[in-house]
């Protein structure tokens, strides 16, 4: 497995990607990958600093003949999204990722691959290691906890970085150069669980919704994919209206920045309604399978008898919960009026959990317009205020305003043309990039973001296109070679 990937070109890029796959690096638990980077720097006699937040900065002097070039920051993040299929046994705190080649792609085995942003880390390390890649002064910045809070980027301080050009190695579509991104914030609703006794004459059922693709809550929000929270809630709402079910457990989705892939619920129903319920299960499955036949061909919806729960939700709370989840918006809210086919504002109903005697509902909002970001977050909050939930907004993070006159953009466009004899796309992205925070801390920082093609990010279907990794590598080196001289 490793040997096959190790034979891919460019060899050192894939070598370091495999090394990174062996190192657990969940968000907020990046100590092992930070230690690896520190050891790497010591081995290659490169200055390395780990700040109090956990960000790693490795610097490298210019290669001979490039000492008068402007300095460049190569930026990537240390953590990865840790998602796995429910039938996969994997402990992200200790187990390595198991990559494999599948056609023209590299995938993991039942888990996220971590190419977001392991391939960016690998590219920086391969450049730092090399003694024959021409470049000016380099700063390789590896930030922590990008996926769950942008904690590392938030903690950067003025003066910590010396260069004024930044290449973010965290984009996921080869041939596209990004010069702007959406800002975002999270909205979380909680309420205490109140219970009733299981109604007399009831039997218990568990329903499972699986097989959805999931994906990135920004990049994939407009692709017509299913949301496991919404689809399960739709079933429960209608089942309650028709059969008066009593809900005992609802567990759907996982991470705030991932589209919900799986959902599970336990409820009771009067035994006289069992046959009608099972007929409805089949009808509902046929409905959603037909609705999502183009985008979710592997969707599965199953029901079966399970052990009787100790209690069920209070009937009034159940009605409020199912109503609120049905009413809660999810998906694209507005398209840009200025950039064709660009999502401006969206919201992701990410998860519902029954945890520690509380119902916890997690959502995230994104927009490239700050006022619209606040508006959609308030809209989501208002739905849960109606059920008397406690609603908390995160502080959020800023967007990155596009600069079409950027010099590093011009250099990147020209490099792409020379290498591939075609025009790259210049875009903004409906996802959060750390460039927004870097730009707020370092006004005037000239930035561009690009990367290889990664599909299914934030889901176990995550895969990295092999051919695009070669082009990503070639573009990075070509851009570094053509950074202009420092202005007098």
Positions marked catalytic: 79, 146
* Exposure b/e, 86-107, CB count within 10 A at least 16 = b: eeeebebeeeebbbeeeeebbb
Asked if 96 and 105 count as a contact pair (C-beta separation under 8 A), the reply is: no
Task: Read off the tokens for 260.
Answer: 């919900």
Q: Taking phi first (over 0 means left), then psi (-120 to 50 degrees means alpha), and beta for anything else, what does residue 214 get?
A: left
Strand ranges (DSSP E) for 114-201? 138-143, 165-168, 176-181, 183-192, 195-196
Phi and psi at residue 48, to the nearest 5°? -140, 135
d(CA 111, CA 88) in angstroms, rounded, equals: 8
Q: Report the candidate in 180, 65, 178, 181 with the shortest Cα–Cα distance to residue 416.
A: 178
Task: Read off the tokens for 20.
Answer: 């990174």
Strand ranges (DSSP E) for 295-337? 300-305, 312-313, 331-335
Residue 246 β-bridge partners: 268
416: enclosing H helix or E strand: helix 407-420
User: How do strand 72-77 and strand 138-143 relate by DSSP bridges?
Assistant: parallel
Total count of residues recorded for the chain: 488
Task: Read off the tokens for 102.
Answer: 């599948």
361: enclosing H helix or E strand: strand 358-367
d(CA 29, CA 36) in angstroms, rounded, equals: 13
Rg for the chain, CA atoms, rounded: 24
Task: Read off the tokens for 470.
Answer: 């070669």
d(CA 284, CA 223) in angstroms, rounded, equals: 22
């Amino acid at each position: 497995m490793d040997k096959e990937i190790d034979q891919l070109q460019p060899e050192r890029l894939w070598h370091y990607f495999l090394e990174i796959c062996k190192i657990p690096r969940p968000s907020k638990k990046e100590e092992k990958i930070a230690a690896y980077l520190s050891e790497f720097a010591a081995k290659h006699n490169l200055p390395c600093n780990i700040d109090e937040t956990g960000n790693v900065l490795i610097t490298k002097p210019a290669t001979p003949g490039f000492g008068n070039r402007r300095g460049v920051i190569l930026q990537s993040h240390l953590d990865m999204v840790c998602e796995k299929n429910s039938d996969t046994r994997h402990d992200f705190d200790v187990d390595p990722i198991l990559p494999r080649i599948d056609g023209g792609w590299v995938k993991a085995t039942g888990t996220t691959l971590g190419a977001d942003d392991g391939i960016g880390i690998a590219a920086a390390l391969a450049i730092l290691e090399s003694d024959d890649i021409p470049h000016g002064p380099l700063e390789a910045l590896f930030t922590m906890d990008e996926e769950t809070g942008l904690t590392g980027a938030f903690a950067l301080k003025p003066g910590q970085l010396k260069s004024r050009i930044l290449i973010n190695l965290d984009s996921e579509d080869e041939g596209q150069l990004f010069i702007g991104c959406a800002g975002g914030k999270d909205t979380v609703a909680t309420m205490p669980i109140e219970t009733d006794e299981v109604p007399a004459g009831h039997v218990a059922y568990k329903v499972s919704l699986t097989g959805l693709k999931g994906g990135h809550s920004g990049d994939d929000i407009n692709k017509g994919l299913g949301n496991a929270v919404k689809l399960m809630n739709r079933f429960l709402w209608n089942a309650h209206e028709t059969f008066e079910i009593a809900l005992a457990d609802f567990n759907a989705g996982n991470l705030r920045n991932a589209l919900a892939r799986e959902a599970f619920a336990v409820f009771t129903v009067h035994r006289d309604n069992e046959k009608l319920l099972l007929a409805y299960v089949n009808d509902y499955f046929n409905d959603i399978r037909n609705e999502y036949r183009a985008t979710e061909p592997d969707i599965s919806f199953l029901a079966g008898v399970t052990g009787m729960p100790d209690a069920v939700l209070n009937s009034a709370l159940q009605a409020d919960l199912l109503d609120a989840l049905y009413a809660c918006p999810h998906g694209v809210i507005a398209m840009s009026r200025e950039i064709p086919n660009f999502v401006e504002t969206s919201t992701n109903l990410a998860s519902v959990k029954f945890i520690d005697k509380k119902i916890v509902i997690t959502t995230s909002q994104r927009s490239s317009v700050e006022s619209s970001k606040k508006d959609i977050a308030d809209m989501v909050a208002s739905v849960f205020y109606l059920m008397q939930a406690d609603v908390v907004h995160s502080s959020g993070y800023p967007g990155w305003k596009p600069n079409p006159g950027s010099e590093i953009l011009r250099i990147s466009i020209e490099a792409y043309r020379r290498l591939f004899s075609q025009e790259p796309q210049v875009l903004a992205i409906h996802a959060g990039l750390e460039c927004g925070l870097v730009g707020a801390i370092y006004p005037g920082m000239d930035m561009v973001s690009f990367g290889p093609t990664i599909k299914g990010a934030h889901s176990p279907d995550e895969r990295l296109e092999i051919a695009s990794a070669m082009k990503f590598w070639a573009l990075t080196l070509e851009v570094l070679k053509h950074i202009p001289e420092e202005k007098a």
